[in-house]
């Protein structure tokens, strides 16, 4: 993996004990204008799960899977792990890395799409951590792989999991099955400005729609169905007067029941693992809504440690390393640059320095 000394798995973070819930929520929402009522509700979601988010264990499993894949390729490059909002904190990870002699890292985020929340915010936190270390006299350099939702492995992992979910509805006619691709809602203004500034924006939604349509086609072909998929949203936050992407999955379930559907497959393509947004917002809340409506609710798995997904992440790292060495890398539909364009997915509140981009 020349020129890289280590692969940095960079994630959102989550609490692992009840006393960590409130400090975690404060860190996530600092300066983001989230109403107190919303914070209390989200705190309850975590307390319902004993104050422990599944996300860190899922990242430990992903690191183990990456290790196995790297070993099988004869790659001894270490995989280290830092979070934005909980221990192991990114700056601590970088400090330890530097002390161990690791100077040039390549970051893989647990977030697949282009948008401020799913890309630039990670880049801002990288810049802040690298600055903090520089103040201590520790120089580290961090590159990043591009948003990987358009990559073939992300698609094939999601396709396999969708087909598996749909198989549980063998015998239910197409007209009765609703196929919902689910992702995290974001403010409409964040979606509008997502992508390189010279593009048409809405890249967050466009990447989801492209994947949803490819997955629908693949699942229909595999199962001899002609389902029509649609994109819906979960985990809306922010003040009620601020427009966020819609429809909310629960609202859509009500309409689908009224239209005479009997079953729903929810494919959470916006998420890399079954963390709290999936465990609460889908498996708890949306599943309860479906139950009340008499709808059968089947949730497709997220990529998690799917071998096709893990192998593709390692390919993405190998391609980034080749690029850093000045070599050509393969192109594919929707491929994003590994160095973000200036002004890509802007911070609309308080612009800050960010790594891995032209600005």
Cβ proximity of 41 and 285 under 8 Å? no
Cβ proximity of 332 and 148 under 8 Å? no
The minimum distance between CB 238 and ligand HT9, in angstroms, equals 6
The minimum distance between CB 222 and ligand HT9, in angstroms, equals 27
Site for ligand HT9 (CB under 6 A): which residue of 34, 128, 133, 222? Answer: 34
**Residue closer to ligand HT9, measured from CB, 184 or 206:** 184
Query: If binding is defined by CB under 6 A, does position 117 make contact with ligand HT9?
Result: yes
Site for ligand HT9 (CB under 6 A): which residue of 22, 38, 192, 247? Answer: 38
Site for ligand HT9 (CB under 6 A): which residue of 27, 32, 141, 352? Answer: 32
| SS3 labels along 80-106 | EEEECCCCCEHHHHHHHHHHCCCCEEE
The CA–CA distances, whole Å, from 176 to 103, 221, 228, 293 equal: 55, 18, 11, 14
Site for ligand HT9 (CB under 6 A): which residue of 10, 28, 178, 355? Answer: 28
Quote the tokens at residue 28.
């996530």
Helix (H) / strand (E) element for 298: namely strand 296-299
The CA–CA distances, whole Å, from 130 to 127, 135, 356 equal: 5, 9, 12
The region of 70-78, 109-117, 152-160, 293-301 touching ligand HT9 under the rule CB under 6 A is 109-117
Q: What is the CB neighbour count within 10 angstroms for residue 241? A: 5
**Residue closer to ligand HT9, measured from CB, 36 or 333:** 36
Query: If binding is defined by CB under 6 A, does position 14 make contact with ligand HT9?
Result: yes
Using CB under 6 A as the binding criterion, the count of chain residues that bind ligand HT9 stands at: 26
Query: If binding is defined by CB under 6 A, does position 305 make contact with ligand HT9?
Result: no
Distance CA 163, CA 336 (A): 27
Binding site for ligand HT9 (CB under 6 A): 12, 14, 25, 28-29, 32, 34, 38, 42, 53-55, 110-111, 115, 117-118, 184, 186, 235, 237-238, 270, 275-277
């Amino acid at each position: 993996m020349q020129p890289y000394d280590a692969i940095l798995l960079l994630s959102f973070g989550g609490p692992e004990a009840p006393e960590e819930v409130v400090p975690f929520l404060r860190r996530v929402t600092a300066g983001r204008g989230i109403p107190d009522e919303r914070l209390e509700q989200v705190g309850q979601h975590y307390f319902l799960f004993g104050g422990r988010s599944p996300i860190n264990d899922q990242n430990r499993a992903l690191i183990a899977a990456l290790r196995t894949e790297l070993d099988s390729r004869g790659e001894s490059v270490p995989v280290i792990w830092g979070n934005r909002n909980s221990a192991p904190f990114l700056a601590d990870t970088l400090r330890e890395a530097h002390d161990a002699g690791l100077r040039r890292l390549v970051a893989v985020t647990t977030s697949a799409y282009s948008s401020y929340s799913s890309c630039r915010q990670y880049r801002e936190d990288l810049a802040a951590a690298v600055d903090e270390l520089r103040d201590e006299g520790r120089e580290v350099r961090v590159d990043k792989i591009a948003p990987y939702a358009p990559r073939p492995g992300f698609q094939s992992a999601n396709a396999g999991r969708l087909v598996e979910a749909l198989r549980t509805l063998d015998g239910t006619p197409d007209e009765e099955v609703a196929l919902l691709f689910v992702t995290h809602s974001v403010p409409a203004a964040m979606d509008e400005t997502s992508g390189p500034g010279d593009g048409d924006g809405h890249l967050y939604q466009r990447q989801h729609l492209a994947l949803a349509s490819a997955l629908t086609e693949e699942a229909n072909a595999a199962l001899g169905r002609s389902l029509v998929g649609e994109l819906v949203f979960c985990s809306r936050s922010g003040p009620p007067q601020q427009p966020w992407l819609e429809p909310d999955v629960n609202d859509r379930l009500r309409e689908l029941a009224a239209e005479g559907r009997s079953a729903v497959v929810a494919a959470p393509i916006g998420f890399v693992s079954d963390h709290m947004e999936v465990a609460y917002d889908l498996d708890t809340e949306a599943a309860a809504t479906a139950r009340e409506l008499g709808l059968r609710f089947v949730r497709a798995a997220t990529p998690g440690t799917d071998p096709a997904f893990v192998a593709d992440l390692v390919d993405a790292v190998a391609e980034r390393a080749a690029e850093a060495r000045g070599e050509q890398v393969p192109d594919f539909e929707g491929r994003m640059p590994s160095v973000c364009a200036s002004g890509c997915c802007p911070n609309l509140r308080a612009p800050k320095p960010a790594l891995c981009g032209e600005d």
